[in-house]
Amino acid sequence: MSRLPVLAAISLIALATAASADPGIDITIYADNQALVQDTRVITFTGDQAQRVEFKNVSAQIRAETASLSASDMTILEQNFDYDLLSPSKIMENAVGQTITLVRTNPATGQETRERATVLAANGGVVLQIGDRIEVLRDDGLPVRVIFDKVPPNMRAEPTLSMTVAAKPGTREATLRYLTPGLGWRADYVVLYDEGKSTIDVQGWVTLSNNSGVNYDNARAVLVAGNPRMLNGGGGCFDCGSSDEAGTEAGTRERLGGYYLYPLPARTTIANLQTKQVSFLDVHGAPAQHGYELRFGWLQTASQPISAWTVYSFTNGSQGGLGDQLPAGVMRFYIRDAKGQPQFIGERGIGHTPMGSKLSIATGEAFDVKVHPVVTARTKVGKTRWKTDMRYTLTNASSKPVTVKVIQGGLWGDTKVSAESQRSERRDAESVVWTVTIPAEGKVELTATFDSRY
C-alpha cells in the first residue's frame, strides 16, 4: 500500500500574515458555500480627511456588513457597496428623468440625425418626450442608437466597494477582508475495489466552484474542512454513509480551531462560473471488505424477501487504511469487469470523518442476496410483557458464500433477546446484529425471541 499526499499543510494564520506582506488575493473557502476573501492592494493616500477609496472587482455577493479595510495610519469614515451593474436595460432605467441623445440613421442614404429626448419611463419599454411629442422607442429594425451624457453615479461596470477614509499621506498596502457566498467546495472520491485482493484504490479530489460573480486572479487559496456556525444555517451532509467507529488519530494535517486545512499547492485563478478540481488524496491497495447488511424496524414483517445492501468496509487510519482525514463529500465506487474495465456500482455521501475511523459504505441493493423477515408469533406474558418470535430467511443466489449483517432495531427500554439460533451482538441501546454466513446458492434461517414491554 502506498499513500501520496498532494497538498501541503499551511495554516490560515500564516496565510493571513502573508497577505499583508505580499499584495494579492488570499481566499479561505468553506464547504458550505461561504468564503473569506482577503484582498491586499497598494494604495496612495492623499492625506485628505475624506478621501474616497474604491475596491473594484469584489464579489457581487459580498456581505457588505462583514467588510473591513485595514492599513496603517488610516480611519474608515463611511463605506458603500455599489452593485447596480451596467447593462443596456439598467442604464436606461437609471436614466429616467434624464436627457439623452437619439441617433437615427437613414437606411437609404446613411445620413444620421440627432435629437435630444427626455426619458419618461423604462418599464417594459422606453417612453420618450421629444419636443412636444411622446414617442415609444421600438425595436423595429431601424438603426437607432442612444447616447448617454454620463454613467449614472450609482452604477458600475463591476461590483465596487467604496470607502471614505482619513489617512496620513503616503503609498502603502491596505487589506480588504470580507465574507461572501458563491464560493464553495466539496470532496469527491473515486474508489476502485479489487475483488480478488479485497483492496481499494482511492483518489480524492477537491471540487471547487465559483458563482460569486467575479474572477479571482492568481489567488492563494486554502480550503477548510468543517462547518463553522452561520446564522442562516448551512453545513451538514446529504445522504451521509455510516461510520461504524469514529477515529482518534490526530495525523499531521494543519488544523485551525476545530477544522482541518487543505491549501491548494500553488497560486491559481478561480474564474467566475468555473469548477476546478485539485487532487488531495491518492491511495493504492488499502484493505477493504465487501459484505451485505440490512436493518429492520421493530415488528417489521414483509410479504416478500428484501434485497440486502451491498456494503464496503475500510478504515482511514494510518495503519492499514487511507491515512488521512476525509472531508465531507461523495464516494463513488467502481469494480473492474471481466475485460478489466472499471464500471460504476454506486455512490454515497460521507460526513467529515476523523482519521482512524472505521467506515461502512452502502452502494446499492444486492441482486442475489435477500432477507425475508417475518413475525411468526406474538404472545402476551403477564400484564406488561410480550414475547415476540421472529424468523429471518436469508438466501444467496450467487456462486460463492456471502456474509450478511442482520440488524434488528427498535429495542427500546429493557427489551432483550431471550432466545436465538445464532449468537447476536448488542450494537447499541436499541439494536442487535447477527453476522450470518450464507453458503453459495444456499439458504439460512435465523430465529430469535424478544422479551419486551410492548
Q: How confident is the model at residue 234 (pLDDT cuts 50, 70, 90)?
A: very low
Weakest mean pLDDT among 143-152, 276-285, 325-334, 436-445:
143-152
Q: Residue 201 has what pLDDT?
A: 97
Weakest mean pLDDT among 73-77, 245-249, 254-258, 278-282:
245-249
Weakest mean pLDDT among 131-140, 191-200, 321-330, 350-359:
131-140
pTM > 0.75: no
The more confidently predicted of residues 393 and 3 is: 393
Q: Residue 96 has what pLDDT?
A: 87
3-state secondary structure the chain: CEECCCCCCCCHHHHHHHHHHCCEEEEEEECCCEEEEEEEEEEEECCCCCEEEEEECCCCCCCHHHCEEECCCEEEEEEEEECEECCHHHHHHCCCCCEEEEEEECCCCCCEEEEEEEEEEECCCEEEEECCEEEEECCCCCCEEEEECCCCCCEECCCEEEEEEEECCEEEEEEEEEEEECEEEEEEEEEEEECCCCEEEEEEEEEEEECCCCCEEEEEEEEEECCCCCCCCCCCCCCECEEEECCCECCCCCEECCEEEEECCCCEEECCCEEEEEEEEEEEEEECEEEEEEEECCCCCCCCCEEEEEEEEEECCCCCCCCCCECCEEEEEEEECCCCCEEEEEEEEECCECECCEEEEEEEEEEEEEEEEEEEEEEEECCCEEEEEEEEEEEECCCCCEEEEEEECCCCCCCEEEEECCCCEEEECCEEEEEEEECCCEEEEEEEEEEECC
Q: How confident is the model at residue 84 (pLDDT cuts 50, 70, 90)?
A: low
> What is the pLDDT of the chain when averaged over all its residues?
85
Whether 156 shows a pLDDT value over 80: the answer reads no
Taking residues 382-398, report their average pLDDT: 95
The more confidently predicted of residues 246 and 145 is: 145
Whether 246 shows a pLDDT value over 90: the answer reads no
- Residue 124 C-alpha from the chain's centroid: 39
**Structural domain spans, the chain:** 2-8+184-289+324-350, 34-82+159-181, 85-155
Taking residues 264-287, report their average pLDDT: 91
pLDDT tens track for 348-365: 999 889 999 999 999 999
Q: Residue 383 has what pLDDT?
A: 87
Whether 280 shows a pLDDT value over 60: the answer reads yes
